[in-house]
């Protein structure tokens, strides 16, 4: 592909429920509740995978991981991200950097920002400075503010793979 880069955007939201582990960016976070989903519900990796697929022009994760397919039940979302990256790589594109916004009322995620960003960078095959994570609350507004859900936004730049 004779381009300098291709950008993609991703967004996701998952409901917070009792009796599920909380996994954010591939990191297990101690909390009384976790994200409901057919997979592990990792809202960060889902937003990222959608951003990768968008940048590659490959649609979205719903196209590739049908929510009703039992084969994907409770799978780790790192598999979803890896599939998205494999699709991009098949087109000669690799991630250049990612910027993520995670919106969660609680727990306090500020102290885990670097840990989650490093894990995401490792999953994407990037150096730690190539993944930036922002965590915000929703200021008590809406379902995210009420602690009923978490939301993530991601932007990913894909660049031509070195030959």
In contact, 154 and 51? CB cutoff 8 Å: yes
Is residue 20 near Mg ion by the rule CB under 5 A?
A: no
- Compute the least distance from the CB of residue 21 to Mg ion, in Å: 15
Strand pairing report for 22-24 and 33-35: unpaired
Q: Where are the beta strands (DSSP E) in 46-90?
A: none
Strand partners, 94: 159
Stretch that binds Mg ion, among 11-19, 64-72, 89-97, 121-129 (CB under 5 A): 11-19
Task: Say whether residue 50 binds Mg ion (CB under 5 A).
Answer: no
Nearest CA among 105, 85, 103 for reference residue 158:
85
CB half-sphere exposure, 120, CA atoms < 13 A: 34
Minimum distance of Mg ion from residue 80's CB (angstroms): 9
46 binds Mg ion (CB under 5 A): yes
Main-chain dihedrals φ then ψ at residue 74, nearest 5 degrees? 60, 20
Q: Check binding of 40 to Mg ion (CB under 5 A).
A: no
In this chain, which of 8, 10, 12, 78 binds Mg ion, going by CB under 5 A?
A: 12
Residue of 5, 8, 104, 105 lying closest to 60 (CA atoms):
8
Interface segment toward Mg ion; rule CB under 5 A; list 6-14, 48-56, 106-114, 146-154: 6-14
Least separation in angstroms between residue 48's CB and Mg ion is 11
Residue closer to Mg ion (CB basis): 12 or 105: 12
- 12/41 Cα distance (integer angstroms): 10
Which C-beta is closer to Mg ion: that of 26 or that of 96?
Answer: 26
Cβ of residue 14: shortest distance to Mg ion, in angstroms? 6
Binding footprint of Mg ion on the chain (CB under 5 A): 12, 46
């Amino acid at each position: 592909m004779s381009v300098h880069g291709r950008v993609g955007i991703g967004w996701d939201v998952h409901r917070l429920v009792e009796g599920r582990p909380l996994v954010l960016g591939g990191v297990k976070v101690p909390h009384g509740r976790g994200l409901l989903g057919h997979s592990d519900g990792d809202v960060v990796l889902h937003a990222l995978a959608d951003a990768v697929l968008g940048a590659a022009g490959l649609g979205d994760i719903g196209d590739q991981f049908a929510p009703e397919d039992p084969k994907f039940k409770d799978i780790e979302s790192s598999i979803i991200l890896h599939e998205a990256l494999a699709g991009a790589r098949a087109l000669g594109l690799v991630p250049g950097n990612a910027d993520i916004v995670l919106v969660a009322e609680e727990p306090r995620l500020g102290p885990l920002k670097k840990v989650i960003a490093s894990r995401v960078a490792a999953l994407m095959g990037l150096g730690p400075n190539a993944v930036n994570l922002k965590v915000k609350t929703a200021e008590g507004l809406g379902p995210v503010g009420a602690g009923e859900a978490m939301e993530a936004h991601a932007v990913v730049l894909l660049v031509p793979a070195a030959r």
